[in-house]
Structure 1
Amino acid sequence: MASPSPQDALPPLPADFQISPHDMYQVLSTAMWLGGLSPKFKYETTGEVIKRYADYAWQVRGNMTAKEISQRFGPAEPHAQWLIGIFDGPQNFAGTIVTIAYQMAPILPHPTNPNVVIPLFISFTIITTLIMALRLWSRYKVAGGIQPFDWLAVVGYVLTVIWGAVAVAHDHINTQWQAFYDKSWYNISGSIEIYYGLTIFYPWVMMTIKLSLLLFYYRMTNWNYIRWSVYATTVIVVGTSISAFIVWLVNCPHVRYWDYPWEQCRINIKKAQVAFAGLYILTDVIIWILPMPLVFQLKLYPRERILALITFSLGAIACVASCYRLVMLEQYTNYSSQSSTTLIIDAWTITELNLTLICSSAPAVRALAIHYAPKILNSLGTVAFATQNGSQHGKKGSIGSSTGSSKNGAHARVTADPEK
């Protein structure tokens, strides 16, 4: 008489059974390990691969061998032996995968990925392109020419668009499902590979955008404390970007660490990402408050001062986006049924990069509005790219007005020209 199948022999779990976070972590880890070590079935969902292992384990009554696993599923024998060892022996391995395949599988959740990356990429690309075009036109029309920090911002814009386009490819390879057991190893490894590329590319994009802002602040004043603050912030930004890049390259023995689950990486990848994101937020805050003393030093009418503060305070929006990205890094790099996706991180990174570019271009866009509609904004003498001392000198400043008009007609000097 043939032995019963595991589906017939094993009782179903109680109706009120709840999968604990520990159980979910075990299921998702098992899906990753078996999917990555079964090249013969890399196009099947890892849930199906677990079931194949469970059928084999049931057939041999738990007496699985590395040689047989290698022949059936395709890993090298040493790797198959590692797989057995990670479960503390063949019997525990058999019990775990049979339980997952035939008792837990019917109640596992199947969350879908949020459809946010493509809409965000398209929307922000259109908006940021428009803002950057207005910025360059403002420099040409109002400030007398496009400055080096503007060209650096253009490079940051191009890199941002490229980053977003790669994120769209990441969205595509991820399929509609979040949980690893609903995806094939082909999709999982492809997703990790693209996310790895996005992660090592991100520091260079952010560094370029921030350096354009720092160069802008450096050239708009000759105040020593601001220039030294720019120097210090530049060191932090460049150091953070280079460190993040190096850590990701040398963290694991192999760059394609996802294909070598038996190897131990040197640094916790999640903790490293969170640490670097925290450093970027620190520089965000510094860059946000850096121009504020200039605004308060200028002798402006209250309305002009408020408008100038609002213009430079827009950087706080980018800071908020950076903070949300940090929260997403913390939440969506955990193994759980609804956080084994990194698309939410992609979405907030697209938001962060584009908002940083948009906010950094706000003074130039405002200057263009002042130039074409002075009666509406009623603020020709502000810190936002207006001409220096009107048309008397025939020379245009960089951050707008290099002078601020006061009630008694006095002027506060900021800089004559960022090129000086």
Structure 2
Amino acid sequence: MSQQPGQQGPSSFLNPNYVNPEVKGHYLKPVIITLMVLSGTIAGLRIITRSSILRSLGADDWVIIPALITAYALSIFNMMSEEYGWGRHIWDIQPKEWVFIRQYQFATQLLFTYSVALAKASILIFYLRFCTTKRFRIAIWITFGLLIAWVVSMSGLIIFQCHPVSNFWKEIPLTQTKREGCLPNEADMVLLHGIFSVVLDVIVLFLPMPTVLHLGLPTKQKVGLIAMFSLGLIVCLAGCLRIASIRSTILTFDVSWYGYDLYIYTSTEAHVGIICASVPSLKPLLAVFFPRLVTTTYGAGSRNRRSGALPDEFGSRGVRNSKGYPLNSMIESRIGSEETVFRRDEEGGDWPLPSSSSSPDGVVKTTEIHQVVVLRDVPFR
């Protein structure tokens, strides 16, 4: 029996409201669309930076593309679920509408798994590009193994949790709590899925920290690298919020009402993962258009410093400064009354030290000036 538009009183299983049902909110679509725009823009800028400025698209860049595609599909299905009643009380959803919602749930569980896994894989491949020790490389590959095992196991559980598979979305009375031919612990599986995803996020977050701390870098640069990698904390936070939302959803029968925010957290975790994986690649873009943002000043007593083994985002021969030298390969030493421009050896090595007794190799010019030591046109300092 349906409730008329003018009828008062709360709806229920005995008195469902299919005409003008109460809804949890109207903010799901605006939030998800905003996330889609942000992740798409940043991932697009990453591809442009790597292909046009650095001219060296890597495997991590290619992997982020399917991660973005699956995240977009995930978000679209989440928004389509709202059209069929997600965000209403479950008794205000017609059984035929619930079939579509369950189909979208099946698809989004798989898409979420693939999207966040691909984003994590992109970060791990990025780590391999500046891996400096055998121990770090082994740790990366072990994490890869855990990631692959998680994807394969969760994909199998999601796809084959019902036999036949279509039983997952088969039309049944909404008061029926168990589906024929399906595993009885679907809610627990979804919760474990989210927990293991966050555990992998934490592993990926802390994986490079020991290596960064042991790199021969200035303290400011170490702090910058650690701060950059710490962006992964945002992904971990989104994952924790998603777990909390899953727990509150599975503890109630009215899952479509109390699970409204869960779809937002699911899209958030997927898109924020892509954003955090792409932000480090934008440093050369900032160096080209906003060089002052990537300038670091050292005191006049600065000593010889090695840049460490850093990937192209922190210095690439493909990026040239105003003098035609590759970014991160030139240092202007302005000490006392002389300005001396040095170039680092193209094959690597230390920066030459200014010397008052003899002119170091690679001196380009010397002029009278009174300044401090300045590093310019460096994509990451």
Normalised TM-score (structure 2): 0.70
Q: How far off its partner does 1:299 sit?
A: 3.1
Corresponding position of 1:29: none
Q: How far off its partner does 1:204 sit?
A: 1.6
Which is greater in Rg?
A: 1
Alignment partner of 1:349 is 2:349: no
Alignment partner of 1:139 is 2:45: no
Residues 192 and 258 of structure 1 are in contact (CA less than 8 Å); yes or no, is this contact kept in structure 2?
yes
Alignment partner of 1:220 is 2:130: yes
Q: How far off its partner does 1:339 sit?
A: 6.1
Alignment partner of 1:378 is 2:295: yes
Q: Deviations over 1:249-270 (max 9, x none)?
A: 2222332235365625334011
Decide which of 365, 371, 392 is 2:282's aligned counterpart. Answer: 365
Decide which of 301, 305, 314 is 2:222's aligned counterpart. Answer: 305
Corresponding position of 1:266: 183
Corresponding position of 1:418: none
Q: How far off its partner does 1:212 sit?
A: 1.4
Name the CA shift for 1:393/1:343 in 2 (closer, same or farther; >3 Å): same
Q: How far off its partner does 1:114 sit?
A: 2.6
Corresponding position of 1:330: 247
Q: How far off its partner does 1:130 sit?
A: 1.6
Runs of at least 5 residues in structure 2 that lack an aligned partner in the other structure: 5-11, 173-177, 298-306, 330-346, 355-381
What's the % identity of the aligned pairs? Answer: 18
Q: Give distance in 2, aligned partners of 1:289 and 1:366.
A: 21
Q: How far off its partner does 1:306 sit?
A: 2.1
Residues 85 and 256 of structure 2 are in contact (CA less than 8 Å); yes or no, is this contact kept in structure 1?
no
Which range is displaced more, 186-195 or 354-363? 186-195
Q: How far off its partner does 1:315 sit?
A: 0.8
Q: How far off its partner does 1:366 sit?
A: 2.6
Runs of at least 5 residues in structure 1 that lack an aligned partner in the other structure: 1-43, 49-98, 410-420
Residues 144 and 396 of structure 1 are in contact (CA less than 8 Å); yes or no, is this contact kept in structure 2?
no
Q: Give distance in 1, aligned partners of 2:227 and 2:237.
A: 16
Residues 278 and 326 of structure 1 are in contact (CA less than 8 Å); yes or no, is this contact kept in structure 2?
yes
> What is the correspondence of 1:146-295 to structure 2 with a 5 Å cutoff?
146-174=57-85, 177=88, 179-255=89-165, 256-259=167-170, 261=178, 263=180, 265-295=182-212
Q: Deviations over 1:208-239 (max 9, x none)?
A: 22111111112221421221111111111111
Which range is displaced more, 318-327 or 305-314? 305-314
RMSD after superposition = 3.5
Q: Give distance in 1, aligned partners of 2:316 and 2:13.
A: 73
Q: How far off its partner does 1:388 sit?
A: 5.2
Q: Give distance in 1, aligned partners of 2:193 and 2:27.
A: 25
Q: Give distance in 1, aligned partners of 2:98 and 2:118.
A: 31
Q: Give distance in 1, aligned partners of 2:79 and 2:232.
A: 26
Normalised TM-score (structure 1): 0.64
- Which one-letter code corresponds to 2:31 in the other structure? L
Q: How far off its partner does 1:321 sit?
A: 0.4
Q: Give distance in 2, aligned partners of 1:405 and 1:174.
A: 64
Q: Give distance in 2, aligned partners of 1:269 and 1:338.
A: 13
Q: Give distance in 2, aligned partners of 1:406 and 1:354.
A: 40
Residues 299 and 404 of structure 1 are in contact (CA less than 8 Å); yes or no, is this contact kept in structure 2?
no
Q: Give distance in 1, aligned partners of 2:349 and 2:208.
A: 15
Residues 333 and 340 of structure 1 are in contact (CA less than 8 Å); yes or no, is this contact kept in structure 2?
no
- Which one-letter code corresponds to 1:117 in the other structure? L
Name the CA shift for 1:277/1:142 in 2 (closer, same or farther; >3 Å): same
Residues 132 and 211 of structure 2 are in contact (CA less than 8 Å); yes or no, is this contact kept in structure 1?
no
Q: Give distance in 1, aligned partners of 2:131 and 2:70.
A: 28
Q: Deviations over 1:55-92 (max 9, x none)?
A: xxxxxxxxxxxxxxxxxxxxxxxxxxxxxxxxxxxxxx
Which range is displaced more, 149-158 or 379-388? 379-388
Name the CA shift for 1:222/1:204 in 2 (closer, same or farther; >3 Å): same
Structure (1/2) with the larger helix percentage: 1
- Which one-letter code corresponds to 2:66 in the other structure? V
Q: Give distance in 2, aligned partners of 1:406 and 1:316.
A: 35
Corresponding position of 1:121: 32
Counterpart secondary structure, 1:361: helix
Q: How far off its partner does 1:138 sit?
A: 2.1
Corresponding position of 2:368: none
Q: Structure 1 stretches (4+) deviating beyond 6 angstroms? A: 389-393, 402-409
Q: Give distance in 2, aligned partners of 1:147 and 1:100.
A: 55
Q: How far off its partner does 1:129 sit?
A: 1.7
- Which one-letter code corresponds to 2:294 in the other structure? L
> What is the correspondence of 1:82-101 to structure 2 with a 5 Å cutoff?
101=14
Q: Deviations over 1:172-224 (max 9, x none)?
A: 112652x2212211222221221122112221222222111111112221421
Name the CA shift for 1:185/1:100 in 2 (closer, same or farther; >3 Å): closer
